[in-house]
A and B are shown apart, each in its own frame.
Chain A
Amino acid sequence: MDIFLQQLANGLTIGSIFALVALGYTMVYGVMKLINFAHGDMVAASAFVGLTIYTQVMGQATSLVAVIAIFFLSAAVMACVGIILERLAYRPLREAPRLSAVVSALGASLMIQNGIMLIWGPQMRIFPELIPQVYWDINGVVISLIQVLILVLSLGLMIALYLFVEKTRMGAAIRASAIDQDAARLMGINVNRIIAIIFIIGSSLGAVGGLFIGLYYRGITFNMGWQYGLYAFIAAILGGIGNIPGAMLGGMMLGLFQAFIAGYISSTWADAFTFILLILILIVRPTGLLGERVAGKV
């Protein structure tokens, strides 16, 4: 039972990081029907931006205020990068065939990845221990402060996002743009602005995810975005791509699934089982767990 609960805690931590990153994929897909392959690399970039802010701007001050400032500044920087990315790589191709936009996304992914390598170098960079290593042993289940922080902050952000999309006027505009861009435009919604907002939110959430990776695992490499991007992408598909609660559910599920497979079967097989799960879900429910069947536009 101890082991089960411990694996549950492990899985929820990594799952909430997957979920945060998956939200970026799913929101962009929801509105633009585009898979933003550069998102994973944006996540990696945010970890490097955060590290630079800590060493250069903050002067390596380790305080709660500094940590919060790093989160806000990194999110702001990545939001700007997200807007620029959309303007340069996606907006010119909005009317082009779907494939062109996908290729553009792949190109953007490579460009960001190599950009990180050029700016910060190819070697692994190491995050300082910003969150003190405090852990609690509850009947044999050990939970660390950083795990609690990741879980609480991620859940908070996800609930806030859900409320924003479901309850506000802006959220309604986002949902309307997701359903039918032309109709939304006729209703007086500035779709370009909505898309910019989507990129701001998606990139900021990805930035928080990237910082969590840096703070939790400490070692960051320029090419790590691919791995996290892939898992988050799978999480988004599991939950039903384009569906916001789906991405949250998918991320958590994937984290738990990987923890239990690695814990009870073998970490060797964790990836294989992850993809088997993906295939099974796509066979049984092609639209993902929470995805709705939407008639394709002609």
Chain B
Amino acid sequence: MKRTFRNILLTLFTIVLMAGLSWADTLKVGVQAPITGSYANEGQGIENGVRLMAAQINAKGGVMGRQIEVIVCDDQGTAMAAAICAKDLVNKGVAMVIGSYTSTAAEAAQKTYFNAGVLQTSDGTADSLTEHGYWTFLRNSFPNSAEAVFAANYMVNVKSYKRIAVISDFSSYAAGLAEATVAEIKKAGGNVVTYAKIKADSQNFTPVLTNIKSKNPDVIFFAGYYSDGGQLRAQQKALGIKADFIGGDANDNADFAKLAGSSAKGALIINVPSPDALPYEIAKTFIADYQRTYGMMPPSIWGLMNIDGMRAIIHAMEHNQSFDTKKAADYLHNMDKPLEGITGSISFAADGNRIGGAYVVKEIQADNSYKVIYAQ
């Protein structure tokens, strides 16, 4: 009898608890990122960052009284999983989605978020991301076209390379960056001796590199991701190719140098400044909190870019005193005063592109640290 009573009480308690959870309104924030797969390191960086930012906002009372609830979906960096994630996150009623890391995954999910009126902010740099006219999409990084101009200028005018080899994989980001860079190099009067493509994750790049070696380039520009870039650099050295190596922005991850091992030294990477080089007070505080919480540095700048996107959207909602996503987007597209961000001031053009962006060239040192050797 006593047990029955206790069971009834427990059931009642559970019902009240469950009902309580659904009554309390939360602000649902989706994270769509590659939690597994080759880019897991970056995906986890985004998830960790968003969770930390959400916890910090919640500790201060949430957004207009609502606590943030983070819902994570793993897109593995692939278009197929991204499309499923998009549907899943929309069904779960998120107001905004942070991510994804890869342009391919971000692009595959865009339309679903647009149709549902869910705001999406991604670090994807493929120009095509902002060419669809979706008001829901906010790029928190800077597009390939801007990086291509910088990279081409650096290679042709600053370093005066005579023979440039370009490599990319087949993803939206990599192919887009490589094509834009090749076009900019030609515009600047440079000489592209070869443009080769590799299959991401295939590990064995020596056949392609051997071909490139026969073209005798003095620099190899790699538009692609760090997981391939580190191996390319190692195999370039192992094949005795003397050319300089310049990696595009997605090579900016600590794993690049680890993969390349002793070959990493001297490799150049073009990107915006690294997390540890961010001069802003807000950045220093957040990175210190991140290190305390997770016991490591953020894997790269990308997670922080995404968090800036999240902060911008929340800032817009608070400014409007409304959770309406359309109003938030309208505000963000016409900000009179940029928001102070972790990765610098943040504001958006009407097409959803982030305004500004200053690139630097970083050289990997013997201890795998970066040294900025050229700034815009």
Contacts and interface: CB of A to CB of B under 8 A. Distances in A.
Contacts of A121: 40
B208 A218 contact: no
A135 B197 CA distance: 26
Given A124-B255, A218-B259, A259 B211 contact: no
B197 A124 contact: no
A166 interface: no
A135 B240 contact: yes
B200 to A, nearest CB: 11
Given A267-B197, A267-B199, A117 B238 contact: no
B204 interface: yes
Interface size class of A (residues with CB under 8 A): 35 or more
Interface in A255-298: 258-263, 266-268, 270-271
A171 interface: no
A6 B239 contact: yes
B210 interface: yes
Given A10-B206, A122-B37, A263-B208, A137 B255 contact: no
A266 B210 contact: no
Given A7-B210, A217-B231, A219-B259, A14 B204 contact: yes
Nearest to B197: A268
Contacts of B231: 217-219
A213 B201 CA distance: 13
B258 interface: yes
Given A262-B208, A268-B197, A124 B240 contact: no
Given A6-B213, A122-B40, A142 B204 contact: no
B203 interface: yes
Interface size class of B (residues with CB under 8 A): 35 or more
Contacts of B44: 123
A11 B227 CA distance: 22
B214 interface: yes
A112 to B, nearest CB: 15
B238 A124 contact: no
A258 B213 CA distance: 18
Nearest to A128: B261
Contacts of B261: 128-129, 133, 218
Contact of B207 (A7, A117, A122, A123): A7
Given A122-B37, A219-B259, A2 B208 contact: no
Of the candidates A126, A223, A259, A268, the one having the most CB atoms from chain B within 10 angstroms of its own CB is A126
B262 interface: yes
B196 interface: yes
B214 A2 contact: yes
Contact of A135 (B238, B258, B259): B238
A123 B41 contact: yes
Nearest to A9: B206
A3 interface: yes
B36 interface: yes
A16 interface: no
A84 to B, nearest CB: 26
B36 A122 contact: yes
A41 B255 CA distance: 23
- When A and B form their complex, which 4 residue pairs have the shortest distance between CB atoms, in order from nearest? A122-B36, A262-B207, A123-B40, A142-B240
Interface of A: 2-3, 6-7, 10-11, 13-14, 117, 121-124, 126, 128-129, 133, 135, 137, 142, 144, 146-147, 213, 217-219, 221-224, 227, 258-263, 266-268, 270-271
11 contacts: A122-B36, A124-B41, A133-B237, A213-B203, A217-B231, A227-B201, A258-B204, A262-B208, A266-B197, A268-B197, A270-B207
